[in-house]
Structure 1
Amino acid sequence: MMHIVIVGGGLVGAAAAVAAARQGYQVTLLERGAAPDHQPVSQEWDLRISSVHQKNVEWLEQLGVWTQVDSAKYFSYAGLSVTTRDRQTVEFAAADVAAPRLGVMVENDALVRACWQVLREFENVTLRAETEIKTYELESQHLLLNNDETLLFDLLIGADGANSAVARAAEIGMRGWDYDMRCLLAIAEVEQPLAAKTWEVFRAEGPYALLPLNDHLACLIDYRAEAVWSDASTEQVEQALHETFAPVLGAFTLQKHASFPLRRQRALRYFDSRGVVLIGDAAHSIHPLAGQGVNLGFVDVQTLMSALAASELRTALKTYERKQTLVNQQMMRMMDAIHFGFRSEHLLPRLAVGLGLQAVAKIKPIKQQIIKAAMGWS
C-alpha cells in the first residue's frame, strides 16, 4: 500500500488527506500547528473565509466532509454582480442555469475542522499535529521529524502554503511578483437584511466587495495600495469602510478586521522525481479577486488523485503537472487581466472591458457559460 505523507493540514492538505484515504492509501498528515479540532467551536466567524463553488461543494459531499461542516458557518449564495469603474453592471444568477445556488461562503476553520473529524474515522490515517520536519532526505524518501522520529514515504505532498518548505527541500523554484496592494477583510453586522448575493465594484484605487455570511452578517473586502492599509489604525479602517459601504448597506457594526498583501506566485514545476508533488498555494497563489484560490487547490487534489488511480506514480505526477499547470496558469492570467483591465486609467482597456460586459449581459449562451464556469462546470 502506497504511503502518502501530506505536509500542511489546512484546507487543501486536509481535503487531500480525506481523498487519499478514501482511495485506500496509507496517509500521514503533518500539521505544524495545533489540531484544528482541539478547541471548542467559536460562535463568531473567523476572518479566513472561502468562496467554494458548487462543483467543489458536491465533491466535498462525496468525500463525506460537507455534512460535518457547522451549518452556522456557511451560507449559500445564488447571485453575483460586477460593476466597472464606468458604472456598468452585469448580474449573474444561479437561476439563469436552473441551479439553486452558485456556491457557498464558508469559514475556513469550520471546513478544516470537518475534514479532521472525518479523518479520525479512518484506520489508514495518522494525524500528527504540532509536528515539523527537521530534515528532508528525499533521495532515500524519509523525513526526520522534530521529535527525532523517522518517517518513510512513497509520495510526499506539499500543501504547506506559498512559503512551502517542501518546495524548498525539493529545490523547486518560484516565480512571481507583488501587486503593491493589500486586501482588507472585515466582519460586519448589518442592520438591513442581506440578499444571498456577492458583489464587487471596481474603482481607481482598487475594488471593494461584499460576501454574505448570513442574513445580517457580511464579510467586507476592500483592496487598496499597500501604503494605505499597512499602517491604518482601527479608527481609520472603520471610517474608510463606512464611507465605502454605508451608502449601499446602511448602518453596520464592525466586529473584526485584518489585511494581507497581494502576491502572485507559481512553482516552476509541480513535482520532483524523488516522489514529491505540490498542491494548492504551495504550487500557485493567485490574486483573490474571484475567490478561486481554494477552488484551484481542490481541483489540484481531484486531478492528482485521479491520476494516481489511473497509472503508476511517476506517470501520474507528470499527468497531474501537465493538466494543472495549464488550468492554473489560465486562471492566473485571467485574474491579472481583470485586475489591470478594470483598474486601468486608459480608455482603450476600459472600453474593451465595457464592451465585453455588454456582450455578456446581452448574449444568453455566453452568460450561461460564465455562470457554469463560476460554479466549477466548464
Structure 2
Amino acid sequence: MRILQLIDSLEAGGAERMAVNYANALVDTLGFSALVATRKEGALLEQIDSKVTYLFLHKKRQLDFGALWRLRSFVLQHSITHIHAHSTSFFIAFLLKMTMPSLKIIRHDHYGNASFLAKRPCKVLQFTTFGFSGVIAVNQQLKDWSEKRLKARNVIYLPNFIPLAPKKYTKITCLNGRAGKRIIVLANLRPQKNHFMLLDVAAQMKLSHPDWTFHLVGKDFNDEYSLAIKNKIRALQLENQVFLYGSRADINCVLNQSDIGILTSASEGLPVALLEYGMQPLPVVVTAVGELPNIINNGLNGWLVPSNEGVLFYKVLITLISDPSMRNRMALALQQTVLEGYFSKGVLRKYIQWLENL
C-alpha cells in the first residue's frame, strides 16, 4: 500500500495534527508515506518528517480543476493506492476518485460538534458516500452516525493518537504569568470549545486565586466569536489573568511551562489536546463530552464536569489547585492511560489491517 494523507490546511488543529501523525508514522511502517495540503500551509509544516513525500496544492476554490489535476499527477507519479482524506478534504478526494476509479479513498471524520449530530449538514456527505471505500470515526458517536445516517460501508472507530517519539522543538513561546500557576487550554477559537464558560471560571479564579493564570493556545480566526472572547476579557478585566497566543508549533514547550490542562468544550470528538496533556504529564479538568468520558476515569486520572456547568468546573479546579499531591497522582495516571491506548503503534496496526480488508 502507498498511502497519501490529504488535509486542507496545516494550521495547528486536531484533524491537521492527526494527518501529520499518520503520515509520519506510516513512513517508517510502510517505507512510503505522502501528505498533501490543499488550501493552506501553517505551523505544522515543520513537523512533517523529512522522509514523507509532501505537496502543497495551492487550491483556491472548492471546484479548482487545476488543483485537482496537480493532485492527480502527484498520485500517478508516486503510484498512490489509497487516499486518506481528513475532514473537509474529502470532497476533492471524491472528485479524484471519479477520474481514477481504481483508487481507494477513505474519509476520516473528525467532526468536533459530535454532541449535536442531529443538526449536522450532510447533503454533500450523502451524495459522495458511494465513492468511499471506508470511513474512520474518531469516536463511537460518529461511527454510529455514518452507519445509520449515511449508510456508509466499512466504518471503523480508531482513536486519535500521538507519536511514540514526538519531534523536539526549539523553545519559542514564553508563557506569561507565574511559573507553577499556569492553566493551559489547547483549543482553536471555535464556538464548540465554549471559551465563554472558561472566561466565567477565570473571573471567579481572579477573586479567589489571582496569581493563577489561563493560557489559550489555538488558531484565532479573527471572526465574531474571537472578537466576542476578546471583548469579554476586557469587560471582565481579565487582561492579567487570560492570555491569547494563537497557533503555536512548539506545543511541547508550551506544555512544559504549564501546570494544569483544561477543556471547557460543549462538544468534542476525541481531542488530541487531551492526549498531549496526558503525555506531559498534566492533571486535567475537562467537560464530559464526546469521547472524553471513555478516557477519563473521574477522580482517578482526571476530573470530568458536565458541559456548561461553570460553577462546578470552578470548584473542581480549585480542589485540584489546592492539592499538589492529587495533581501529581492524576497526571501520572492519565499518562499511563495514554501510553496504554493512544500511541501510534497499536492504532496503526488496526488501521493497516482494516485497509487490507477493504
TM-score range, shorter chain: 0.3 to 0.5
Larger strand proportion of the pair: 1
TM-score w.r.t. structure 2 length? 0.38
Taking CA–CA contacts closer than 8 Å with sequence separation of 6 or more, which of the two structures ends up with the larger relative contact order? 1
Larger helix proportion of the pair: 2
TM-score w.r.t. structure 1 length? 0.37
